[in-house]
């Protein structure tokens, strides 16, 4: 309303004073669409309104060509493969930094080796697109948090929960698709026990200035089996089992997979990442 009042007063003054006959500036939605990074700058969005289709078209920079996922190809051409079934060379043990000792299966997947501990990538990441597929045992083991529990830790600190939740109630901010102890999934899109599930994740890392002041919180968008379960969720901090989230400055971090130490039998396959 205040904006409308200002516009009304401004228009009245312009008409009254008859100072200019130029067309009023047309300001497009830069503020409401901050994701736009292109040849269109704030200057381009102002001035006289465009009068031809060509006025609002541009041709550079040209987006790079990427071969997408298809029936024949399960990794985009510009993705970095973290696990394709052949080896665990991209991973190491969190406990001692030595070679990851999880089990590689003939079907191109790997399974948590109970007691071997968490594994993490040797490489560290910031903003990423991540694809990862996982499966719980066909015959459920245990109940609640002890049925198929693992987890995917972005930057080694923020857990996207892996759990068998097809028919297994637990606290909702700890079920599959949750950001552990912070946000439940929007819906339960889990497949039955024994079926492969897939996460597609867009993660943006938190940022701090040189004085240690947080300038941007971590955000995460997640699709579980093609269904949106986290929609640009803003993380408070680390996903703690006990206690409040911790919000400490950090840089790039590894991708970590959890050994929950309860014979979960969780398997993973087809893990790839694209840096953003």
Q: Which of 147, 224, 145 is nearest to 191 (CA)?
A: 224
Q: How far is the CB of 262 from Mg ion (least distance, A)?
A: 10
Residue from the set 109, 149, 197, 239 that interacts with Mg ion by CB under 5 A: 149
Residue 170 sits in the site that holds Mg ion (CB under 5 A) = no
Residue from the set 151, 156, 253, 254 that interacts with Mg ion by CB under 5 A: 151
User: Candidates 13-21, 85-93, 151-159, 239-247 — which segment interacts with Mg ion by CB under 5 A?
Assistant: 151-159
* List of E strands, 72-195: 80-83, 91-93, 103-104, 110-111, 119-121, 128-135, 150-154, 158-162
Q: Is the peptide bond before 41 cis (omega within 30 degrees of 0)?
A: no
Number of residues that bind Mg ion (CB under 5 A): 3
Site string for Mg ion, 39-78 (x = CB under 5 A): ----------------------------------------
Q: Do residues 256 and 117 touch, judged by C-beta distance below 8 A? A: no
**Which lies closer to Mg ion via its Cβ, residue 149 or residue 155?**
149
Residues 103, 115: Cα–Cα separation, whole Å: 12
Q: How far is the CB of 112 from Mg ion (least distance, A)?
A: 11
Residue 193 carries which DSSP code? T
Q: How far is the CB of 258 from Mg ion (least distance, A)?
A: 5
Length of the chain: 276
User: Candidates 15-23, 49-57, 71-79, 253-261 — which segment interacts with Mg ion by CB under 5 A?
Assistant: 253-261
**Which lies closer to Mg ion via its Cβ, residue 1 or residue 242?**
242
**Which lies closer to Mg ion via its Cβ, residue 148 or residue 253?**
148
Residues 125, 121: Cα–Cα separation, whole Å: 9
Q: Do residues 190 and 118 touch, judged by C-beta distance below 8 A? A: no
* List of E strands, 119-196: 119-121, 128-135, 150-154, 158-162
**Contact footprint for Mg ion (CB under 5 A):** 149, 151, 258
């Amino acid at each position: 309303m205040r904006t409308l009042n200002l516009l009304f007063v401004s228009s009245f003054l312009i008409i009254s004073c008859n100072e200019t006959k130029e067309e009023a500036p047309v300001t497009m939605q830069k503020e409401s669409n901050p994701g736009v990074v292109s040849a269109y700058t704030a200057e381009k969005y102002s001035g006289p309104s465009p009068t031809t289709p060509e006025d609002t078209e541009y041709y550079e920079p040209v987006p790079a060509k990427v071969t997408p996922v298809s029936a024949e190809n399960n990794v985009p051409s510009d993705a970095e493969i973290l696990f394709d079934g052949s080896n665990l060379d991209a991973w190491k043990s969190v406990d001692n930094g030595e070679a990851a000792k999880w089990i590689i299966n003939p079907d191109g997947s790997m399974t948590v080796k109970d007691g071997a501990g968490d594994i993490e990538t040797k490489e560290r990441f910031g903003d990423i697109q991540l694809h990862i597929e996982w499966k719980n045992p066909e015959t459920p083991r245990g109940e609640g948090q002890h049925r198929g529990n693992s987890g995917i830790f972005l930057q080694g600190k923020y857990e996207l929960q892996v759990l068998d939740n097809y028919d297994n109630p637990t606290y909702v901010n700890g079920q599959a698709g949750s950001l552990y102890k912070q946000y439940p999934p929007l819906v339960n899109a889990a497949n039955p026990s024994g079926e492969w599930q897939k996460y597609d994740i867009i993660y943006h890392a938190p940022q701090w200035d040189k004085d240690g002041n947080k300038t941007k919180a971590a955000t995460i968008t997640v699709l579980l089996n093609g269904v949106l379960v986290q929609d640009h969720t803003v993380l408070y901090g680390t996903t703690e089992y006990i206690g409040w989230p911790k919000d400490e400055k950090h840089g790039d971090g590894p991708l970590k997979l959890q050994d929950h130490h309860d014979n979960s039998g969780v398997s993973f396959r087809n893990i790839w990442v694209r840096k953003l």
